[in-house]
């Protein structure tokens, strides 16, 4: 087998596209060499060799070492120097390089091949003693750290002692004699630490170094990095052995790193840093402070010109931003690395837009260059991460963005604060629908319990408000209005910051950066629309949310949760009266009071969505959620309803359920209290007819939630159609409307062919469908689910990213069976998954017609849908 690939001006064996085999760095070196960019020659030992090494109990596969020796001989020939030569020695660097870069995670060794003898040769051939011994002491330090396990700082102590003794602040000011002295001291340290001298056989050094790089694939930080970035442990790393070029031979030498465009803004400017008379690790290790790249133009104009030519050639070749490493040796430029530059969301958008405008990439590529997951950053205020903060605790990143404010502990306090214009963070054990006003008033929401689809999380995302949920480390004392984390206590009024993108809770005020929706961003989204086939709608309950969604490009409303309308202002009293009523007559009386409010709400919503479909879901939550809780509320409702406090409390007990999520909710309310749904249908259709008369284009879609059996739906569908026909006839207008259902229970998916006989559309309510399929409470699982994810039992939180192999089957089955009895069945998704890129990819595969998500996720969904279609 071939384990080793040579790269050099006259012969490059590796395929520069094959990152899997050569690693990212190795592929880049091969590619650069083959397009005529100056790269010091060398060879790459493949990732396959690394994989074999691990399979073979850490022994090299057969032929590897012979091939490496042969490549070394070729290298000697190309360089006109010999490895281990005491006159003019060849030195090499040994670097790791996995298929995806893992910055700083694995090991690098420079100046390999130096010994007490060869260093004299280096001195002779370069005529530069300082350089020779500077290289030697660097090599001893790096090799000892990486291969022999003697930590860096022990060497750095010696260096700083030396600098102190010589009274200089920079190591470039140390004399040749000092460098020689340093190398000797370093070797003494090694002897003391190991009990054996520093290895003096270059071939052995090379073997040790290759082993060390292979070993570093499985060091702890590399493993952790792979886990965080979801990379496989089986890829292995390649090893690049490359002849050294020296940035430390004097003031016409240097080394640096640069990006072909600014990676944080995307601006088309060459961006980077460099150090004169230095080697690469000085930049990385922060031993010396590098200069901005613009300085290079002044210091070494010729080399800068070469560098400019090279970076432009590289960008044209790769058609993307490159992150490059270079060294200048005596005025001659060499490239040591090129790879795709990592960038912020803002930069990604600008770069994609500009590169299309420059004709470098086509529109499709431009759209694919922007990561849907990343652009969330552009839609919410973000924390300035260049500053360090006092992090109190970490919860779930439930709704992105960041907020700074005073801690308050109940909704009323949040609302009161908002009235006087104060920024607050609402801190609750968990939120309930009653907190909605306070949540709206607060800048952000922090809860101690609850998962990614808990009430707080869903509502906050809907509002585009940041939220950290399920932060179990905070202990809330609601009465005393404070919370504690460990030994720290945050009282009411103390300033905290929450980061809904990371889940962090910060003590004090962090610095925020405001979002901006650039013209380029809007344009990229328009391009995305040209490619996507999935529709994108929004989950919105109010005209204001609907308008935001529309501005973000929503093509309609996929879910209006009508229960939110029940909590506003005075109507909650009428709603409570309805719930507490003894019989149907009592309920009808109360419903009459609610209906005008409902109708008004629908008018607002339909107007905001003129010309687009609006899916209105009939009442869904268990009734007890509307019951008054505090003594104060109980008394107020008692006064208003003519019931005694005792009677009211008794009613609350009666409505109590042990498992309300599986209880008296959804269409079960419609089946048992048809007058409630009837009122809602009247309100919807009357609103629609009025607007239709006024010349608006209204497209109502009435949706029945939590159906398990077609007979539930049949009953309610018939009622809905009867009411709708009556209202339409009375108004004397022509109005099209749809009646459909949500698929939120496994039984509905399993019998979707039957259900579809009564439904013109399905909307998969994957929040409940996940909860009921996995038997995992969406409100409580936050307590233990993180451990499940950590352990890899579920790869992702199934409430965030759809569980394809489980819930996904039910969705696919639902679509197929539904269309088997109703070929034109329209299908969508309105669970939180509708805004998650990975789930959107799944929806495309499953053949859904549209996704629906919170207004602030609409741009993400548009982009993800385009990626899914491409």
Provide φ and ψ at 741, rounded to 5°. -140, 165
Choose among Mg ion, ligand PEP, none what residue 123 binds, the Cβ cut-off being 5 to 8 Å by kind: none
Tell me whether residue 498 or residue 830 sits nearer to ligand PEP (CB atom).
830
830 binds, among ligand PEP, Mg ion, none (CB under 5 to 8 A by kind): ligand PEP
Note the helical H segments in 442-569: 455-463, 519-531, 543-551
Give the N- to C-terminal CA distance of the chain in Å, as an integer.
37
Q: Which of 765, 814, 834, 837 binds Mg ion (CB under 5 A)?
A: 765
Tokens of 413: 């306090």
Q: Which does 689 bind (CB under 5 to 8 A by kind): ligand PEP, Mg ion, none?
A: none
Partner in contact with 42, chosen from ligand PEP, Mg ion, none, beta carbon below 5 to 8 Å by kind: none
CB 855 within 8 A of CB 538: yes
Strand runs labelled E in 330-459: 332-340, 382-383, 390-394, 396-399, 402-408, 424-428, 444-447
- DSSP annotation string for 835-867: G-HHHHHHHHHHT-SEEEE-GGGHHHHHHHHHH
Residues in contact with Mg ion, shown as a per-residue x/- string from 713 to 752 under the rule CB under 5 A: -------------------------------x--------
Task: Output 458 or 623, the one with its CB closest to ligand PEP.
Answer: 458
Restricting to residues 762-821, which ones interact with ligand PEP according to CB under 6 A? 765-768
At closest approach, how far in Å is the CB of 355 from ligand PEP? 38
> Quick one: 290 or 765, whose CB is closer to Mg ion?
765
**Element containing residue 249 per DSSP (H, E):** none
- Closest separation in Å from C-beta 850 to ligand PEP: 14
Cα 88 → chain centroid: 51
**Location of structure tokens 């850490």:** 58
How far apart are the C-alpha atoms of 483 and 474, rounded to whole Å? 6
Beta carbons of 395 and 499 less than 8 angstroms apart: no
- Number of residues forming the site for ligand PEP (CB under 6 A): 11
Give the list of residues 6+ apart from residue 328 with CB closer than 8 angstroms, or none: 247, 252, 253, 254, 255, 300, 303, 334
854 makes contact, choosing from ligand PEP, Mg ion, none, with CB < 5 to 8 Å by partner type, with: none
Residue least distant from Mg ion (Cβ): 768
CB of 741 to Mg ion, least distance (A): 12
Q: For 367-396, give one letter per residue: b (16+ CB within 10 A) or e.
A: bbbbbbebbbbbbbbbbeeeeebeebbbbb
Quick check: 559 binds ligand PEP (CB under 6 A)? yes
640 membership: H or E segment, kind and range = helix 631-641
Residues with a catalytic annotation lie at 455, 830
Residue 46 beta carbon to Mg ion: minimum distance, rounded to whole angstroms: 51
Which partner in ligand PEP, Mg ion, none is near 460 (CB below 5 to 8 A by kind)?
A: none
- Report, in Å, the least distance between residue 626 CB and ligand PEP: 15
Give the Cα-Cα-Cα angle 477, 481, 483 (nearest 5 degrees).
50
Select the span of 56-64, 72-80, 426-434, 759-767 touching ligand PEP (CB under 6 A): 759-767
Q: Which does 236 bind (CB under 5 to 8 A by kind): ligand PEP, Mg ion, none?
A: none
Report the candidate in 270, 275, 247 with the shortest Cα–Cα distance to residue 259: 270
**Cβ closer to ligand PEP: 290 or 831?**
831
620 binds ligand PEP (CB under 6 A): yes
Q: Name the minimum Å distance from CB 458 to ligand PEP.
A: 6
By beta-carbon proximity to ligand PEP, the closer residue of 12 and 770 is 770
The C-alpha angle 776, 778, 781, rounded to 5 degrees, equals: 65
* Residues in 684-713 that interact with ligand PEP by CB under 6 A: none
Of residues 321 and 759, the one with the C-beta less far from ligand PEP? 759
* Spatial separation of the C-alpha atoms in residues 98 and 237, rounded to whole Å: 4
787: which 2 tokens?
């451990």
In the complex, the smallest distance separating the C-beta of residue 654 from ligand PEP, rounded to whole angstroms, is: 24
Q: How far is the CB of 832 from Mg ion (least distance, A)?
A: 10
Q: Report what 599 binds from ligand PEP, Mg ion, none; CB cut-off 5-8 Å by kind.
A: none
Instruction: Please tell me the count of residues contacting Mg ion according to CB under 5 A.
Output: 3
User: Which residue's CB is nearer to ligand PEP, number 202 or number 462?
Assistant: 462
CA distances from 39 to 43, 84, 253, 666 (A): 12, 22, 16, 67
CB-nearer residue toward Mg ion: 706 or 861: 706
Two tokens at 353?
Answer: 């837009």
Q: Do the Cβ atoms of 142 and 92 come closer than 8 Å?
A: no
Whole-angstrom CA distances from 770 to 657, 711, 797, 808 are 21, 23, 11, 9
Residue 545 is a binding residue for Mg ion (CB under 5 A):
no
**Of 370 and 853, CB closest to ligand PEP:** 853
Q: How far is the CB of 744 from Mg ion (least distance, A)?
A: 5
Per CB under 5 A, the list member of 123, 430, 768, 803 interacting with Mg ion is 768
Residue 728 CB, nearest approach to Mg ion (Å)? 29
* CA dist., res. 726 & res. 266, Å (int): 59
Among 181, 577, 744, 804, binds ligand PEP (CB under 6 A): 744
Least Å from the CB of residue 801 to ligand PEP:
14
What gap in Å lies between CA 573 and CA 579, rounded to an integer?
10
Considering only residues 229 to 258 of the shown chain, the ones binding ligand PEP according to CB under 6 A are none
How many other CB atoms are there within 10 angstroms of residue 533's CB atom?
12
Interface residues for ligand PEP in 440-479 (CB under 6 A)? 458
Residue 708 binding Mg ion, by CB under 5 A: no
- Point out which span in 35-43, 182-190, 747-755, 766-774 binds Mg ion (CB under 5 A): 766-774
Give, as ranges, the residues between 825 and 844 that touch ligand PEP (CB under 6 A): 830-831
Q: CB nearer to Mg ion: give 370 or 703.
A: 703
561 binds, among ligand PEP, Mg ion, none (CB under 5 to 8 A by kind): ligand PEP
Q: Name the residue nearer to ligand PEP (CB basis): 72 or 759.
A: 759
The option from Mg ion, ligand PEP, none interacting with 323 (CB < 5 to 8 A, set by class) reads none
DSSP helix/strand/coil, 507: strand
Whole-number Å distance between alpha carbons of 291 and 296? 8
CB closer to Mg ion, 216 vs 453: 453
Pick out residues in 516-555 that bind ligand PEP (CB under 6 A). Answer: none
Pick between residue 690 and residue 768 the one whose CB is nearest to ligand PEP: 768
627 binds, among ligand PEP, Mg ion, none (CB under 5 to 8 A by kind): none
262 binds, among Mg ion, ligand PEP, none (CB under 5 to 8 A by kind): none
Q: What are phi and psi of 534, to 5 degrees?
A: -80, 140
* Minimal distance, residue 867 CB to ligand PEP, in Å: 23
CA torsion angle for 483, 488, 490, 495 (degrees, to 10)? -140
* DSSP state, residue 449: S
Nearest approach in angstroms of CB 778 to Mg ion is 9
Q: What secondary structure letter does DSSP report for 465? A: -
Instruction: Determine if 561 is a binding residue for ligand PEP (CB under 6 A).
Output: yes
Q: Could you tell which of ligand PEP, Mg ion, none binds residue 831, using a CB distance below 5 to 8 A set by kind?
A: ligand PEP
**Any residues with CB less than 8 A from the CB of 814 and at least 6 apart, and which?**
743, 748, 749, 752, 762, 764, 827
Crossing angle of helices 19-34 and 47-55, rounded to 10°: 150
d(CA 502, CA 395): 8
Residue 750 CB-density burial (10 A; 0-12 exposed, 13-18 middle, 19+ buried): middle
Residues in contact with Mg ion by the rule CB under 5 A: 744, 765, 768
Residues in contact with ligand PEP by the rule CB under 6 A: 458, 559, 561, 620, 744, 765-768, 830-831
């Amino acid at each position: 087998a071939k384990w080793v690939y040579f790269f050099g001006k006259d012969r490059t064996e590796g395929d520069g596209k094959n990152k899997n085999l050569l690693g990212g760095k190795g592929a880049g070196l091969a590619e650069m060499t083959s397009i005529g960019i100056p790269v010091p020659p060398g060879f790459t030992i493949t990732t396959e060799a690394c994989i074999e090494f691990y399979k073979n109990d850490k022994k090299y596969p057969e032929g590897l070492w012979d091939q490496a020796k042969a490549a070394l001989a070729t290298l000697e020939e190309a360089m006109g120097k010999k490895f281990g030569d005491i006159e003019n020695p060849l030195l090499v660097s040994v670097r790791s390089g996995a298929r995806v870069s893992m910055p700083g995670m694995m090991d690098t060794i420079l100046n390999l091949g130096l010994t007490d003898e060869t260093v004299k040769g280096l001195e002779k051939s370069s005529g530069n003693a300082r350089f020779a011994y500077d290289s030697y002491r660097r090599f001893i330090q790096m090799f000892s750290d990486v291969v022999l396990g003697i930590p860096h700082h022990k060497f750095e102590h010696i260096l700083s002692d030396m600098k102190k003794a010589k009274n200089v602040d920079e190591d470039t000011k140390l004399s040749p004699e000092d460098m020689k002295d340093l190398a000797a001291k370093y070797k003494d340290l090694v002897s003391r630490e190991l009990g054996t001298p520093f290895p003096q056989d270059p071939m052995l050094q090379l073997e040790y170094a290759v082993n060390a790089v292979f070993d570093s694939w499985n060091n702890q930080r590399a493993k952790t990095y792979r886990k965080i970035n979801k990379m496989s442990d089986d890829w292995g790393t390649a090893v690049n052995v490359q002849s050294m070029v020296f940035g430390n031979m004097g003031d016409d030498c240097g080394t640096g790193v640069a990006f072909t465009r600014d990676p944080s803004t995307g601006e088309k400017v060459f961006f980077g840093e460099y150090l004169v008379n230095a080697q690469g690790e000085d930049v990385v290790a922060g031993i010396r402070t590098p200069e901005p790249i613009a300085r290079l133009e002044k210091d070494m104009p010729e080399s800068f010109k070469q560098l400019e030519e090279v970076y432009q050639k590289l960008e044209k070749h790769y058609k993307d931003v490159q992150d490059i490493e270079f060294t200048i040796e005596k005025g001659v430029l060499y490239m040591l690395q090129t790879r795709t530059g990592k960038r912020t969301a803002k930069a990604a958008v600008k770069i994609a837009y500009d590169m299309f405008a420059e004709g470098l990439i086509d529109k499709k590529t431009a759209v694919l260059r922007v990561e849907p997951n990343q652009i969330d950053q552009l839609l919410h205020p973000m924390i300035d991460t260049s500053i360090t903060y006092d992090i109190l605790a970490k919860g779930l990143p439930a709704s992105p963005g960041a907020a700074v404010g005073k801690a308050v502990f109940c909704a009323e306090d949040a609302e009161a604060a908002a009235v006087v214009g104060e920024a607050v963070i609402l801190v609750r054990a968990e939120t309930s629908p009653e907190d909605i006003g306070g949540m709206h008033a607060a800048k952000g929401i922090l809860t101690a319990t609850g998962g990614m689809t808990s009430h707080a999380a869903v509502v906050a995302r809907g509002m585009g408000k940041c939220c950290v949920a399920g932060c179990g480390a905070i202990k809330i004392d609601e009465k005393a209005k404070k919370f504690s984390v460990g030994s720290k206590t945050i009282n009411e009024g103390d300033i905290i910051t929450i980061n809904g993108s990371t889940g962090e809770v910060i003590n004090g005020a962090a610095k925020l950066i405001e979002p901006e929706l650039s013209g380029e961003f809007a344009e990229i989204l328009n391009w995305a629309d040209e490619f996507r086939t999935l529709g994108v709608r929004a989950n919105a309950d109010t005209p204001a949310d609907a308008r935001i969604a529309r501005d973000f490009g929503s093509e309609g409303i996929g879910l209006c949760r009508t229960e939110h309308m029940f909590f506003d202002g005075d109507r909650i009293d009428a709603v409570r009266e309805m719930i507490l009523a003894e019989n149907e007559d009592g309920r009808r009386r109360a419903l009459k009071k609610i209906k005008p409010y409902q109708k008004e709400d629908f008018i607002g919503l339909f107007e905001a969505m003129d010309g687009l479909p609006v899916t209105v879901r009939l009442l869904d939550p268990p009734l007890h959620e509307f019951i008054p809780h505090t003594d104060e509320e109980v008394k107020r409702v008692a006064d208003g309803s003519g019931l005694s406090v005792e009677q009211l409390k008794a009613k609350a007990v009666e409505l109590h359920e042990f498992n309300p999520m599986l209880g008296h909710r959804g269409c079960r309310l419609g089946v048992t209290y048809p007058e409630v749904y009837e009122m809602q249908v009247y309100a919807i259709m009357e609103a629609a007819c009025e607007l239709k008369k006024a010349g608006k284009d209204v497209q109502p879609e009435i949706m029945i939630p939590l159906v398990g059996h077609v007979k539930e739906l049949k009953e309610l569908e018939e009622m809905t159609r009867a009411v709708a026909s009556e209202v339409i006839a009375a108004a004397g207008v022509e109005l099209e409307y749809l009646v459909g259902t949500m698929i939120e229970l496994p039984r509905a998916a399993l019998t979707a062919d039957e259900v579809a006989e009564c439904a013109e559309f399905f909307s998969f309510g994957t929040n409940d469908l996940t909860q009921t399929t996995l038997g995992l409470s969406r409100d409580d699982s936050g307590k233990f689910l993180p451990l499940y994810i950590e352990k890899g039992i579920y790869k992702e939180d199934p409430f965030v990213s759809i569980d394809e192999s489980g819930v996904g089957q039910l969705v696919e089955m639902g679509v197929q069976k539904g269309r088997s009895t109703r070929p034109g069945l329209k299908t969508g998704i309105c669970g939180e998954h509708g805004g998650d890129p990975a789930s959107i990819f799944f929806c495309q595969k499953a053949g859904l017609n549209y996704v629906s998500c919170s207004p602030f996720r609409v741009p993400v969904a548009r982009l993800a849908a385009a990626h899914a279609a491409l």
